[in-house]
Amino acid sequence: MQVILIQDVNNLGGTNELVTVRNGYGRNYLIPQKLAVEASPSNLKQLNEKLKQQAKKEAKLLAEINSVIAVLKNGALKIGAKTGTSGKIFGSVTSVQIARAIREQKGYEIDRRRIQLPEDVKELGTYQAKIDFGNGNETEVDFEVEAE
């Protein structure tokens, strides 16, 4: 018996996947527990349509991510910090400050948890931070720490 999984099922498959199971397992467990539906022609047609819609949505999201990456690559961010006489800054530059600089200078809201700093930024200079958008989409953005 072939069924279309509605939810992820351990040791069987993921959501929207067409799998073959034994008749008893499908009729007595998967379908009554609303974990799957029978693979009838109409349900297969709905599955194909749902997968097409999902692919379109992912393509649109990928295009949007690529446009954001292009804007972030265009020019370095400027972050102001208070410094002592030796050029060292008080405290360090954090991902919160980088997210705020991106919002103010580039116009995009990026969650601070997606920004990764390679090392502690405690001096004036130019550095790079990595931004992870998920699904393997990531970019490095340059930022310059300046004295206020």
Phi, psi angles (nearest 5°) of residue 9: -125, 125
Say how far residue 54 (Cα) sits from the centre of its chain.
16
Rounded (5°) CA angle 36-55-69: 135
pLDDT of 47: 93
- Mean pLDDT of all residues in the chain? 90
CB 53 within 8 A of CB 45: no
Q: Which tens digit of pLDDT belongs to each residue from 77-129?
A: 899 888 888 878 888 889 999 999 999 998 889 899 999 998 888 888 899 99
The Cα 10–Cα 111 span in angstroms is 32
- Answer yes or no: is pLDDT of 15 > 90: yes
Please report which confidence band the pLDDT of residue 68 belongs to, taking 50, 70 and 90 as the band edges.
confident
Residue 36 bridge partners (DSSP):
5
pLDDT of 81: 87
Q: pTM of this prediction? A: 0.67
pLDDT of 87: 76
The Cα 60–Cα 70 span in angstroms is 16
Mean pLDDT of the region 24-35: 95
Domains of the chain: 1-41 (3.40.5.10), 76-147 (3.10.430.100)
Strands 77-81 and 137-147: parallel
